Amino acid sequence: MPSLKDIKTQINSVGSTKKITSAMKMVAASKLRRSQEKAEAARPYSSRLEEMLSSLASSAASGEGIIKLLTGTGNDQNYVVVPVSADRGLCGGFNSSINRETFKLVKSLEGNGKKVQLMPVGKKSRDFFNRVMKDQIIESFVDLNVSSTGYESALNISNKLQELYFEGKFDKCILVFNKFKSAISQEVTQQQLIPLDVSNSEKEEEKENSSNAIYDYEPDEETILKDLLPKNVSIQIFKVLLESDAGEQGARMAAMDNATRNAGEMIDSLTLKYNRTRQAFITKELIEIISGAESI
Amino acid sequence: MATISFDLVSPENLIFNDDVGTIIVPGKDGDLGVLPGHSQVMSSLRPGRVMVYSEDKNLVKSFFVSGGFAEINPEKCIVLAESVVELNSLDKSSIEKEIEELGIKESKESEEQLSIAKAKLEAITVSFYDKI
């Protein structure tokens, strides 16, 4: 049976854990608000760019050079998978679900005879894939801090990807990230980044096109498209980074909220145990005194 | 006189959004003066100045953009730019220093940055109209 002092120490330690988790929850909540604002602010740019792109996409039937970002290389043998995780833990299943999903994707692609390379973003996925498939990592990006450095961080990733793409190192690039659904739920999503997947945005555009007159292009459609495509890759990455950042804060908030609640419950049951034990000691001592007095 | 709605958007935020009289945007093949009722144009931009004039033709704001796109229709003009700075926040000596440093390096990236920096210098040295 644990002594009273043992239980007291345990209650204290759980109490201080509770303080930490509830502070982390508060921090995550305020960071979440900031990340959401950032994601909100980036929306007009990316939606405009997508609109422009989908109205231009049809004009590029086939092509060389930059247009390849849209039309593809004609092969689908070599893949690059980019898992986007957080740099820090203590956010529930946020990182592990990304890693699990990516791992599954890589295995299934390899099962189909494709060659897969990895380009993890964030410490947690880098560390994970360093353990399980180290030789497939071509590059990793950590400590991005997208909410403070902003667009620059996305540019680095995008430049690296495009450099490799034009060297012919891969044919397709898939992002795996946590889509921000609400403050408490994230959804692991796969998005094909290169070649660009315009199929879903095109449908929306068809509706709009019917009301919009046709644009003049300056200098011409192809030149614009050449400028537009690399930027689009960067902005897609930027969007994903922001979304993942907001998701991370949301996941951490939920995880810390749970931890705080659990600590509270634990303290309650420990306090009960403490009181019972103390009562038992008192009773025992009383019995000893009484039986001692009787025997005299 | 009529006005045209003007949005200046960067990846990080919406920088300018108001109804204005005239906008001059640096199109790839030359500056475009955008007035209300402009025909529908989609243009890619070179590094240069975006000048915003009010309805009564006074200069309201001036920005430097490092390239991007403009979408223009009779009621609205939208400029998407990767990096946007207000023209009067640019400092001539620091740009000159940047050009010097970039001139030494020889890579594709620094070449691009150099051309942007040169355009920046041009943007603050070449005169413009306060009133049109």
- pLDDT band at residue A200, thresholds of 50, 70 and 90? low
Contact A125, A106 (CB under 8 A): no
Q: Pick from B6, B7, B8, B13 the residue to mutate for testing the A interface (most A CBs within 10 Å).
A: B13
Among candidate residues A179, A40, A67, A192, the one with its CA nearest the CA of residue B11: A40
- pLDDT band at residue A290, thresholds of 50, 70 and 90? very high
Is the Cβ pair B69, A238 closer than 8 Å? no
Among candidate residues B122, B85, B29, B60, the one with its CA nearest the CA of residue A223: B29
Each of the 132 residues of chain B gets a pLDDT tens digit; together they read 689 999 999 888 888 999 999 999 999 888 999 999 999 888 999 999 999 999 888 999 999 998 888 989 898 999 999 889 888 888 888 888 888 888 777 777 777 788 888 888 888 888 888 887
DSSP string covering B120-131, please? HHHHHHS---SB
Over 70: is that where the pLDDT of A206 sits?
no
Is the Cβ pair B10, A223 closer than 8 Å? no
**Shortest distance, CA B19 to any CA of chain A (angstroms):** 18
Question: For A62, which DSSP code?
Answer: S
Candidate from A42, A212, A216 with C-beta closest to B12: A42
The average confidence (pLDDT) of chain A is 86
- Collapsed DSSP state (helix, strand, coil) of residue B72: strand
Handedness of CA A158, A161, A163, A165 (dihedral sign): negative
Is the Cβ pair B41, A151 closer than 8 Å? no
Helix then strand count (H, E) for chain A reads 8, 5
Among candidate residues A282, A273, A243, A222, the one with its CA nearest the CA of residue A71: A222
Candidate from B12, B42, B67 with C-beta closest to A151: B12
Q: Please tell me the predicted confidence (pLDDT) of residue A30.
A: 94
CA of B29: which chain A residue's CA is closest? A219
Candidate from A214, A218, A228 with C-beta closest to B28: A218
DSSP string covering A244-291, please? HHHHHHHHHHHHHHHHHHHHHHHHHHHHHHHHHHHHHHHHHHHHHHHH
Question: What is the model's pTM?
Answer: 0.85
Orientation of helix A221-295 relative to helix A151-166, angle to 10°: 120
Is the Cβ pair B44, A213 closer than 8 Å? no
